[in-house]
């Protein structure tokens, strides 16, 4: 998905600021460095429970046991793995880009280094260049 599509999809969700942030590779898309295939969002427990009641969202259990809400190309989490992450703190300290909060690149770098997937190597180079 393009940068424009990412911003449109997140904005149409009308999530309250302070209760969510885009994580994962979303920041690369937001900064125009590459397109993304989906949007990963971390959210507060309160927002997660509210969205869980919305029939547009489907609850899934990931391989690591974390709970995820899916809606089209958006996956929403109240916990983030691997590693130990305080999602509320990540949300509070998010970088706002065009009205949307994104987990700061330093934290995305740490996460991608912990995860250590082959596909993350290019993303790490891109993240470290901005």
- What digits encode the pLDDT tens for the residues 97-111? 999 999 999 999 999
Q: How confident is the model at residue 120 (pLDDT cuts 50, 70, 90)?
A: confident
Range of the domain at 38: 3-128
Q: What is the DSSP letter of 16?
A: P
Q: What is the DSSP letter of 63?
A: T
Buried b (16+ CB within 10 A) or exposed e, 24-54: bbbbbbbbebeebebbbbbbbeebbeebeee
What is d(CA 97, CA 27) in angstroms, rounded to the nearest whole number? 9
Q: Specify the CATH number for the domain of residue 46.
A: 3.30.460.40
pTM (predicted TM-score): 0.93
pLDDT the model gives residue 119: 84
Domain count, the chain: 1
């Amino acid at each position: 998905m393009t940068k424009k599509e990412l911003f449109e999809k997140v904005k149409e969700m009308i999530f309250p600021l302070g209760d969510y942030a885009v994580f994962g590779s979303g920041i690369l898309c937001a900064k125009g460095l590459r397109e993304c295939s989906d949007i990963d969002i971390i959210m507060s427990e309160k927002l997660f429970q509210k969205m869980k009641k919305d029939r547009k969202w489907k609850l899934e259990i990931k391989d690591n046991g974390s709970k995820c809400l899916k809606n089209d190309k958006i996956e929403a989490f109240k916990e983030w793995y691997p590693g130990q992450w305080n999602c509320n703190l990540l949300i509070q300290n998010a970088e706002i880009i065009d009205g949307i909060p994104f987990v700061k690149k330093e934290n995305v770098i740490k996460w991608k280094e912990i995860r250590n997937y082959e596909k993350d190597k290019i993303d790490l180079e891109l993240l470290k260049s901005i």
